[in-house]
Amino acid sequence: MTESLLLTADRGAVRTITVNRPDKLNALNAATLDALLAAFDAAAADETVRVIVLTGAGPKAFVAGADIAEMTDLPPVAGRDFSQRGQRLMRRIETFPKPVIARINGFALGGGLELAMACHLRVAADTAKIGQPEINLGLIPGFGGTQRLLRLAGRAATLELCLTGSPVVADRALALGIVNKVAAADALDEAIDALADQLAQAAPLALRGILDCIHVGGECAMEEGLAYETAQFGLMFATDDMREGTRAFLDRRKPAFAGR
């Protein structure tokens, strides 16, 4: 069951995880949430994997939302549990120690946008549609949408998207800061591969340090964030990668980082 819900493929140090429910526009049900969590746990433990690309199967959708058919008859406690299940996955991705890129190839709505926003970077096809339409179902975002969208796009845009439920096109999502880059649909894979390869060639321990600093700094006071950054900066001096990077710079050659 789990294997059919997700597809995984490795290209060098880049692992692509694909939500594989194209007939449901890759909607997130409980089993898919659990499968994704297990897939990210496996990628974290695999030292050969340096970058994750997360996407959806088929040409229409990244993830079109949570599975409404599964949600519609849930009692309140089960609804809360479903929200917590989704938030557990989103938090795992958000705090993941390796860069995670969302490849937004189509609809990223509701839980799909929440999934994309938990990733560290987002690249969208110019045909993508992005939004939080839960209001149209008599619901609110439940996988962290109100909080992450607020931090990415600000109060005005978050109120607009959540209160109206109207999606925005990729270019507007870029202007609002929801996505990092927009590429032509037929050039999306090229853009994703270039970004993933760049990250895969970077120093893994430094990448992790940056991810940790930004995550911690986003949730604490400035002085605490600065102290954490200083501690992480000092730790880099214990790594072989730091020696390799600085020597390569002085030798005017490309560094070869080993993650040590």
pLDDT tens digits, the chain, 260 residues: what are they?
445 899 999 999 999 999 999 999 999 999 999 999 999 999 999 999 999 999 999 989 999 998 888 888 889 999 999 999 999 999 999 999 999 999 999 999 999 999 999 999 999 999 999 999 999 999 999 999 999 999 999 999 999 999 999 999 999 999 999 999 999 999 999 999 999 999 999 999 999 999 999 999 888 899 999 999 999 999 999 999 999 899 999 999 999 998 89
Which among 70, 134, 190, 229 is annotated as catalytic? Answer: 134
Distances (CA, A) of 82 to 34, 85, 112, 237: 11, 5, 15, 43
114 is catalytic: yes
**Residue 92: Cβ-neighbour burial (10 angstroms; 0-12, 13-18, 19+):** middle
- Can you list the positions of beta strands (E) in the chain? 6-11, 14-19, 51-56, 61-63, 100-104, 107-109, 121-125, 129-131, 168-169, 181-183
**Domains in the chain: ranges and CATH:** 2-200 (3.90.226.10), 204-251 (1.10.12.10)
Burial of 115 (0-12, 13-18, 19+ CB in 10 A): buried
Q: Kindly report, residue by residue over 137-161, the tens digit of the pLDDT.
A: 999 999 999 999 999 999 999 999 9
The reply to whether 134 belongs to the active site is yes
Reduced to 3 states (helix: H, G, I; strand: E, B; else coil), residue 119 is coil
Question: Which of these is catalytic: 70, 94, 114, 244?
Answer: 114
The Cα 194–Cα 155 span in angstroms is: 32
Residue 150 in contact with residue 158, Cβ under 8 Å? Answer: yes
* CA-closest candidate to residue 112, choices 158, 63, 151, 152: 63
